[in-house]
Amino acid sequence: MALLLLAGCVENTKAPIHSDTDTVTTAKNVVTSKQAEKALPEKVIAERLSGTVTLRDTINGRRIATMYDNVLLNAGTPKGGWVMVGIETEITPLQDKSLMLKKGQKLLIKGKPVGETLEDIQLELTGQNKEGVRTGLFYGYIPAGKIKAGSIIETALSEYLQQHSGRTLPDMQPFIKQFQLQATGFNEPFLEYANYESTVDDPSPAYRTVLVFYKNKLIGVVDSRHTKLQGTTELKLDRGFHGYFFTDADSKLQQEYIRMFNNFINSVD
């Protein structure tokens, strides 16, 4: 979906390699039920690990690395209780040249250990982060339950809507800002704020979560994944998308948006 990529250069989905540039602080506006978890970033750019986790080479496969709590992930769609994730680490010139992490080596982000290799690991991609540091990307699998709930946008949105009775654009701005959703500029007179799917599943990712406003009120949410939003009715959209529309939203308005969304999503590669 090349057009979607051009429209959606969002920090958390630009490329498989990204720098962990957010500042870990308590999120003041989005509160999750996992208060015991280490504080999430004020800006959530991707999912994060919950606790120390063993990374495997495939589902129930060989153990290839140990990863520590709160590590930033490029997480794919959960399947069968497992998630394929991309892990970024700082690398040496030798690792950059060989595209290899040797067994027993520390994995580093901003010079701090975030894990350790248990086997030799092939790097899939190398690059340079915003600080000019060389980094490498590799993939593995973790249980789906090992991701912090508050870093999963669908879970966080459900809880946010339960905790905030208003659905106006100002009511939703704290959530939009924390998850760095961007206005799409499409499907007027509706106003959309969206992020994009992980590059783990598709190198040219489409939308993941789209907040749909009409006259500055949230009337629904479109998502590439199944979710549960209180007070909504689920409708199927084209290309596997799910529409969750609030029951107080006019049905003709819902159908008009669905028509426009389907036309748009079917017009892009």
DSSP code per residue over 228-258 = --TTEEEEE-GGG-EEEEETTS-HHHHHHHH
Give pLDDT tens digits for 52-96.
999 999 999 999 999 999 999 999 999 999 999 999 999 999 999
Which residues contact residue 38 at a Cβ distance below 8 angstroms, ignoring those fewer than 6 apart? 24, 69, 70
CA atoms lying within 13 Å on the CB side of residue 40 = 28
CA–CA distances in Å: residue 257 to residues 245, 250, 260? 10, 11, 5
Select from 63, 67, 65, 64 the least CA-distant residue to 53: 67
Q: What is the pLDDT of residues 197-238, one digit of tens each?
A: 988 877 788 999 999 999 999 999 999 999 999 999 999 999
Provide the residue type at 11 as one letter.
E
Does residue 25 or residue 135 have the better pLDDT? 135
Confidence of residue 43 (pLDDT cuts 50, 70, 90): confident
* Average pLDDT, rounded, for the chain: 87
